[in-house]
């Protein structure tokens, strides 16, 4: 049995360390069993020390941002969950912003607007943190993180920091280098264009109006559950299969947008996984298209 509190007590305060923390409190799905240990570093240096300690102790760890695009299994997560949401700095440098990984994507987009910088409007309503958005190359409304990220500061499993410039980030549809190398995004730098603050605000409000009309923002969800197959629209296929409103327990296909699965009460991960499986089966039978999940599924099986 790992003495987690002792592992981190020399550099983290007691209120930065939680044991047996329910992950349902930290995901937008509101689903997930307990993590053995949940730590909340507040500086890059604390994050580095946490990584060094878990690596030395051979303890598995998982990096958590805003908990969007994430489905945690009912048995929870063994080892340590490292929460980056307390890394909260935004530095303005001309047409660039340096943003700590834990800053919400929406907050970063608003900061860009306040500095009269255009190019992040698409991100204003994307849930989760900027670190998570950079990790998965999140996008919306014909924009994606690959369009604006110029460099990423990351931390490897030995606690060493590295800077990757844009050409090294391996950005593709919902993919980045960090899905390959396992390094932790600490800070990103985005390059934007000078713009009119009023025009930027109007565009952000328009994008958010569209989201409110089309997406079940009032429900617990992880956004689009499936990746978009070339030549098809996932929500349209699911709707045409008659699955709008289809449910397994409290896991349900949204009536507002069939590409969104929601926790309509107290859904378990098992409920959501069974719903995902059934949708994939029926879409494959009906269209010959194999849906791939965009949502990350983690935890003990």
Length of the chain: 301
Residue of 21, 174, 187, 254 marked catalytic: 174
Residue of 24, 154, 221, 224 marked catalytic: 224
Our answer to whether residue 224 is catalytic in this structure is: yes
User: What residue has token string 């990757």?
Assistant: 164
Our answer to whether residue 151 is catalytic in this structure is: no
CA atoms of 240 and 258, how far apart (whole Å): 10
Tally of CB atoms within 10 A around 196: 10
Our answer to whether residue 294 is catalytic in this structure is: yes
Nearest-CA neighbor of 181 among 189, 166, 172, 169? Answer: 169
Q: Which residues of 17-37 are buried (b: 16+ CB within 10 A; e: fewer)?
A: bbeebbbbebbbbbbbbbbbb
Q: Three-state SS string across 97-151, please? A: EEEECCCEHHHHHHHHHHCCEECCHHHCCCCCEHHHHHHHCCEECCEEHHHCEEE
**What residues are annotated to the active site?**
174, 224, 294
């Amino acid at each position: 049995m790992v003495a987690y509190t002792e592992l981190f007590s020399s550099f983290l305060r007691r209120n930065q360390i939680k044991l047996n923390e329910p992950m349902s409190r930290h995901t937008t799905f509101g689903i997930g069993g307990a993590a053995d240990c949940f730590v909340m570093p507040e500086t890059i240096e604390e994050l580095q020390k946490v990584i060094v300690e878990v690596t030395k102790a051979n303890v598995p760890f998982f990096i958590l941002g805003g908990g969007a695009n994430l489905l945690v299994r009912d048995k929870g997560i063994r080892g340590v969950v490292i929460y980056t949401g307390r890394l909260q700095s935004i530095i303005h440098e001309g047409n660039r912003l340096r943003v700590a990984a834990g800053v919400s994507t929406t907050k970063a987009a608003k900061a860009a607007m306040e500095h009269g910088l255009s190019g992040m409007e698409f991100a204003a309503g994307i849930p989760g943190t900027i670190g998570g958005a950079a990790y998965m190359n999140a996008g919306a409304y014909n924009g994606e993180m690959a369009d604006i990220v110029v460099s990423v500061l990351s931390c490897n499993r030995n606690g060493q920091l590295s800077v990757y410039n844009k050409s090294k980030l391996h950005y593709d549809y919902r993919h980045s280098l960090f899905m390959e190398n396992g390094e932790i995004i600490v800070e990103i730098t985005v390059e934007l264009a000078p713009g009119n603050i009023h025009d930027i605000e109007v565009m952000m409000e328009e994008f958010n109006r569209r989201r409110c009309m089309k997406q079940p923002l009032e429900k617990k969800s992880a956004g689009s559950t499936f990746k978009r197959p070339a030549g098809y629209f996932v929500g349209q296929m699911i709707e045409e299969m008659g699955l709008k409103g289809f449910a397994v327990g409290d896991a349900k296909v949204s009536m507002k947008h069939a590409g969104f699965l929601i926790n309509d009460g107290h859904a378990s991960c098992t409920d959501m996984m069974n719903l995902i499986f059934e949708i994939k089966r029926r879409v494959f039978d009906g269209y010959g298209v194999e849906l791939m999940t965009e949502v990350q599924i983690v935890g003990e099986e």
